[in-house]
Each structure stands twice: as structure tokens, then as C-alpha cells.
A and B are shown apart, each in its own frame.
Chain A
Amino acid sequence: MDAMSMYQEQILDHYQNPRNHGTLDEPVTIRREEYNPLCGDRLVLEMRVVDDKVEAVRFRGHGCAISQAAMSMLSEEIVGKSVDELKQLQKQDVLDLLGIPLSPARLKCALLSLKAVKAGVYGVPQYDIDEDDE
């Protein structure tokens, strides 16, 4: 895989100018922290759900360009969606947003954002995404 194509303008733009970055004002309906111990990537995701719709999203954290850009892109995607729609988000949705090929090692970085969303809406201590799923 060509690493240059991994760091396209769009990814770098989301990394360097993340959307929905920061702390959400109260009321916060769902707050979720995810950590990738292998990389040290960390995400704190906050969502406000009103009438079953995501009204506002904020996230903060640190990590590689892939993990942070994926969260930034996903944060734009989930505003206005219902909780059910969030539950239906798939690995492929995140990959489509990124639009780049990822090596298995970097897939974890991309999916940290999805883990935060899913674990948050399901309210479970841990949400496992099977990275081998097709």
C-alpha cells in the first residue's frame, strides 16, 4: 500500500483542523472514552441526544492522523442520526469516509472512533469490532 495515499489532503485536513473538536456543553447524553493501548491513541466522545436524534457531538483526544481524522469525519456523519442509525454503523462506513486503503495495523486506529460511538450508544463497557469481518 502506498503510504502517501494514506495521507491525502482530506485526511490531513481533518487531522489538523478537526471538526466538532472540544468539550460539549451540558446536557451531555452519552460520554465515552476509548483508548488503544497499542498506539496510545485516546478519544473522548460526547453526544447530546434529543428526541432520539444526535443533536450535537464533540470529541477530544490525541493519536495518529488516521484515528483523529476518522473521528472528525465520523462526528460530522453522526449529527442528525437516530440512535438506531448509530447502532447500524459498520466498519465499512468508516473506511468509506476515510476513502483510503489501510494496513491491518492501522485499521485499529481508524476503528477507534467507531468503537467510541458504538460502546456509547449501547452503553456497554466494551464494544468489540471484529476487524477480520468482511
Chain B
Amino acid sequence: MATPVMSYDPTDLLDVERIRADFPVLQRQVNGVPLIYLDNAATSQKPAVVIQAIENYYKSYNANVHRGVHALSEEATAAYEGARKKVAKFINARSSREVIFTRNATEAINLVAYSWGSANVKAGDEIIITDMEHHSNIVPWQLLAERTGAKLHFIPVTDEGYLDLAAYDALLNERTRLVAFTGMSNVLGTITPAEDIIARAHAAGAVALVDASQLVPHKGANVQALQADFMAFTGHKMCGPTGIGVLWGRRELLEAMPPFLGGGDMIREVHRDLSRWNDLPWKFEAGTPSIAEGIGLGIAVDYLNSVDLEKVHVHEQALTRHALERLRDIRGLTLYGPPAEDRGGVVSFYVEGIHPHDLATLLDQRGIAIRAGHHCAQPLIERLGVPATARASFYMYTTHAEIDALAEGLEAAKKVFGL
């Protein structure tokens, strides 16, 4: 019988060494030293099973989907549609018909802004987003507001890096059509109270969209528990390939929406004077889709299920706690965002006297990959009052030793700058 664990050592929960062996790129060297990849918020690395699944599709059953009756096409269709079912189950969608494959999260959000937006938003209506959005959850709404004459409002961010929910309440009213917000900030790591935000939107009669690009890969998201209306996320941040993303939407909403792009695959019948749309989800998937990438995403979902995202989240919170402690000890370093218990594995910081790009270059010399800049979230960076930040972001394969190497690298960078 197992003895009860008194204090959680996350390494007991997650076999990080075994996980690391699944990711071929983690074996490589950069500038003569082992790679320390701390840019997971930009994109995750890929396990060998995903890479093999893509290769296997091209090697053994490459064919277009939904079109042929020959063996290869049927195999490809089954694999591609099988991936959709895996994704649906992964986010607890009622039906895989609610899962639309897009190119990425950006396209998923644009799909809603164009299709749902043009049918449901008019002059004088209001849309609420937040000050901690990625540009992909800002610009489509600005464009929609411009097209329709609707007004765009922003939920402010507190000094501690939380959304100001009292201000949110004050923004909601009977003209609010949509609330679009991130489930987890790609800069501060803040995990937002999605259920609560959605419930308040519904109480005001508005529809809610969650940008779960950071949330799904690290913690998972259950669309029924959240009571969400739309959720967007992107394959390449969750061990899957680039070129594939997901829009999940409530079926009633999707059924009522006009198509986004027109073309093949999205129609049932086409005549000179009119066309009839295909059923969900294909109504929103015009043209030949990203077949290999869709199949790869399905395998990525299998992989995430096999490691168990709950354990990943606990592991990442322990890493974040460790990182916050180590970086707090560095003189002249400012940390942004809430305490570890309220965030995922993302840490943004600024070192007085060293521009983040110089930091990133000096860390790269030690094989450490971090991101420097505005992280496609300029309104938030402006709110923080710095021109740019450095960001380290973790995943299931990140180790405590790698975070120690980051802290040492930062001290060394300060020395180079004579600080």
C-alpha cells in the first residue's frame, strides 16, 4: 500500500525525465550547451509520437478527405474525423459537430468576429474584452466594431495582475453583446475566473468567448463546466503541429451563423444562383483542411491525456513558485503578475539596466530560450509601464534545474552589463 504523501513534491507526480525522452528536440545543443527551452507560451515542443503520426500520414495514407471512396481517402477521413472526436472529448463538448478545425486560435476568433459578429452585432452594441488579451483577441473585435459601429470596452487589470471584476460589472449592460477574454494570460500567467466571467456575461444577456490558447495546453478546459459559448485554442502550443487550431461553439449558435469562407467542402449543393451549406462542422471548413496537422493534433491530445494535465498543472505551479523565489532574489529585477497559485507556468520580468532583448541574447549564449518584447499584448505591456518584458514559460518537461540555470544566466548577464 502506498504511504500518503505529506507534502507534494511534483516530481513524484510527473516523471519528468521520462517525458523529456519523448521530445526529440530536447536532446539538442544550442551554442555548444544543452537546450533549455523556456518559450513554451510561444509554442510547445512536439513529442515523437506527433511527429511520427504526421510522417505516417504522408507515407502511408496521404489522400484528400471527405471526397474519395478509395481506401486511402477513407483512411485519411477516418483519421482526421477521429482527431475531431478526440478534441471534442478532451474539452468535454456535447458533440464533435461543435468542434471546427481552423488554422490557429487567431483564425478561430476571426471566424466568430466575422460570422457571428456580422449577424449579431450592430451600431450601438457593446463588446467587452480585457486589458490582458493577446492581439488575436483584440484586433478582430476592433475590426468588428469598426464595421458595425459597435463600441469596444476593456476590463482593466489590477496592479497584482488580476482582472478587475468590479469594473467588469460596471461595464456590463443590456447593450453588451459579447464578452471575449483569455483563460490564461500569455504574459502574466494569470488564470482568470472563467466560469464567473461567463456567468456574469450570461446574466447580462451576452455571449462569452474564451481564448483558451494558454489554458488548454497546461490545465485543460471543460466547455460544459465553464458554460462557455465559444472557445478558441491552437494546436502548436499543446504538443501539436502548427497550422491547426480549434473553434468550439455551442451548436445552436453555430447553426444560426452564416458561413465564414466559401468554397469546397463547406457546401451541400451549389447552383448558379444559390448554394446550400453543409452541416456542422464542415460549414465552417472551406477547402482542403490541414489534414496531417489535424491528425497530429489528435495524437497530441492522446499524449496530453496519457501524461494527465492535472499533474502537469501541479508541476508547473511548483516550477513557477521556484522561479518566483529564485528571480525575486536578483537585485534590480521586477516581477509581474500574481502569486504562483493563481497562475500557470509563465513568468514575466524586467531587469533594470538591461533591455529584455539583450537579456535574451545573453541567455541564448547559454542555450536558454526565452522571449523578449511585447508578447503580442501591447495594451498589457503599456499597462505595466515598461517598453518590453522578458518572459520565461514552462511546460511538463521543464525542470527545477533549468530554472536555476535561468537565474544563474540572469546574474551573469548583469555582470556583462557591469550591474
Contacts and interface: CB of A to CB of B under 8 A. Distances in A.
B251 to A, nearest CB: 39
B358 A7 contact: yes
A93 B417 CA distance: 25
Contact of A3 (B364, B374, B388, B417): B364
Interface in B333-363: 353-358, 361-362
Category for how many chain B residues contact A = 10 to 19
Interface stretch (A51-59, A60-68, A80-88): A60-68
B309 interface: no
Interface string B357-388: 11001101100000011100000010000011
B356 to A, nearest CB: 8
Max chain A Cβ within 10 angstroms of own Cβ: one of B358, B364, B373: B358
Nearest to A106: B361
Interface string A1-45: 011101100001000100000000000000000000011111000
B128 to A, nearest CB: 26
Interface in B378-405: 381, 387-388
Nearest to A11: B358
B250 to A, nearest CB: 36
Contacts of A41: 387
Provide the main secondary structure of the chain B interface. Answer: mixed
Contacts of B364: 3
Interface residues of A, number: 20
Contact of B357 (A2, A12, A39, A42): A39
B418 A39 contact: no
A109 interface: yes
B365 A66 contact: no
B416 interface: yes
Contacts of B353: 16
Max chain A Cβ within 10 angstroms of own Cβ: one of B357, B387, B417: B357
A66 B418 CA distance: 16
Contacts of B361: 3, 6, 103, 106
A41 B362 CA distance: 18
Contacts of B387: 40-42, 62-63
A30 B415 CA distance: 38
A47 B373 CA distance: 29
Contacts of A16: 353, 417-418
B355 A12 contact: no
Given A12-B417, A42-B387, A64-B358, A3 B365 contact: yes
Contacts of A65: 354-355, 358, 417
Contact of A7 (B372, B373, B417): B417
B33 to A, nearest CB: 12
B235 to A, nearest CB: 24
Nearest to A103: B361
Contacts of B416: 4, 7, 12
A64 B358 CA distance: 6
A55 to B, nearest CB: 31
Nearest to A38: B373
A86 to B, nearest CB: 27
Contacts of A64: 355-358
16 contacts: A3-B361, A4-B365, A4-B416, A7-B362, A7-B417, A12-B418, A39-B373, A39-B388, A40-B373, A40-B374, A62-B355, A64-B355, A64-B357, A65-B354, A65-B355, A66-B357
Interface of A: 2-4, 6-7, 12, 16, 38-42, 62-66, 103, 106, 109
